[in-house]
Every structure is written in structure tokens, then in C-alpha cells.
Amino acid sequence: MATSTPPPTPPHAVIFPFMAQCHTIPLLDISKALSSRGLKVTVVTTQQNAPFICSKVSDCSSISISVVPFPRVPNFPRGCENTASLPSMELLVPFIAATKKMKQPFEALLKEMVENGSRPICVISDFSLSWTLDKCRSFGIPRVVSHGMGVQPMVVLKTVSSMDVQRESTSVSGSVVELPDLSLPFALDRSDLPPRSDNPEEDDPFSRVMWEVEEADRNSWGVIVNSFQELECEYVAALEFGSFAQSGQGMVCGARSAL
């Protein structure tokens, strides 16, 4: 009697949202899009955030949730695992810093997946979780970063991020900033730009966080955007080949067709 060949194991993608609703929801939409295309998806989150995520993806059998513990941090509100629970936004940077203590549980989770024959084809993680890059690299897993925004704002963000390094590419007329080779339907004012420094060690804690984010973005495998080709096609090339892209890193940026 002929034996049937078992179906091939579907590709496995890991999604790791930052613990804030506005960051989580776009990645859950992406999780559903990947699931609808036959991928197995694992969403990584903490105990208190799991019920919300479960309520949004419970109708997708190929999406599972893996819970990692949120660290206990001295002088930080106990049980606060989402930015919505912060008593003050002054605690945002300490909250982001606290997530770095999730490195070991996340590493253990990836190791378990690899050893069980379910190696992820990629990890899509929020930009605030820049530390996931090193853990992905240790297993040879591509890290894709999500900012939860469309192509145009991403181009502006990345171009502005490189301005201090490439001031000669940017002209300032009065208070209006003109970005190189980029036509915007609005005026970008100097006051719209965040303060930057070439030495993050001397910056305030938030600037240090953003410097780490930019470094991880440049060295990640790719950037995923919350858009589609037909909507923002005129900005896709600027995102893919912008001056912020670091050659030799295998970084691929761009919009995908409608998900």
C-alpha cells in the first residue's frame, strides 16, 4: 500500500510588537495577511497583553501567541506592561529600556523554535525593540523592522535621520527645510525636526534610544511599511534607494502590494 507524503511544513514568521496598541494593531493586520497566505505566525507578547492580541487573531488558526515575561524593574510601576498603563509619559523611555531585559526570554524562545524544527524565516519586530536584531543575528534569522507607518512618512523620517551626517544634501531656506530629491505636498518646518547629536553618549535618554533604533534599522534585513504600491508608488524608490540605506547590509525597503 502506498503511503501518503505528509504536507510540507508551512513557512514560519515571528511577529514581535511593541507593547502599545497603536504599534500592535498594524502588526496584527500583517499577521493576518501572512496567515491568509499560508504562513504559520507566532506573535510574541507579555502576559497582560496576550488577551487583547488573542481577541484580534483568535479567528486565525495558524496564528499562535508566545508569552514572554515582562521584567520587574526597580522604581517602575508593577504590573505595567503597556504604554496605556503608564501613569506618566515621562516613564516611556524607562519602559522602552525595561524591554531590553526581555532579551534572554526572547533568545530562549528562538532557540526552542530552531531546535523543534520550526525555524522562523524572519522576525518582524517593532522599531522600539531594536535589541531584537542581535538576537536574530545569533540564529541567522533575518530581522525586519516595522514602524507602523506608510512610505512617505518613512522616507521623511529616514531622510531627516541622516541630515546631521549629510548636511550638504539638505538646504534650509528660512524655517522651511527642503529634503534632497524629495517633493512633498506640504512644507517641512525646521521646528518639525527633532534635535540630534553625533555623539549619543552625551544625549538625553530619548535621543540615545532613537540612535539605537536608527542603527538597528540600518543593519536589519528590511523595513516593512503599512501601505501598498499603488497608493504611494512615487515614494517607493526614494525609500528603497535613499541616502540613509547602508550598502552591503542586505537591507531591502519598500511597499508591498495590497495585503
Q: Where are the alpha helices (DSSP H) in 73-117?
A: 92-99, 103-115
Report the alpha-carbon distance of residue 20 to residue 160 in Å, rounded: 25
Report the alpha-carbon distance of residue 209 to residue 129 in Å, rounded: 10
12 is catalytic: no
23 is catalytic: yes
CA geometry: angle 193, 242, 151, nearest 5 deg: 70
Q: Which is the catalytic residue, given 12, 29, 59, 126?
A: 126
Give exposure, 140-177, as e/b (b: 16+ Cβ within 10 Å).
ebbbbbbbbebbbbbbbbbbbbbbeeeeeebeeeeeeb
Report the alpha-carbon distance of residue 50 to residue 53 in Å, rounded: 5
Q: Which is the catalytic residue, given 12, 23, 147, 217?
A: 23
DSSP state at residue 257: S
Query: Which residues are the active-site residues?
Result: 23, 126
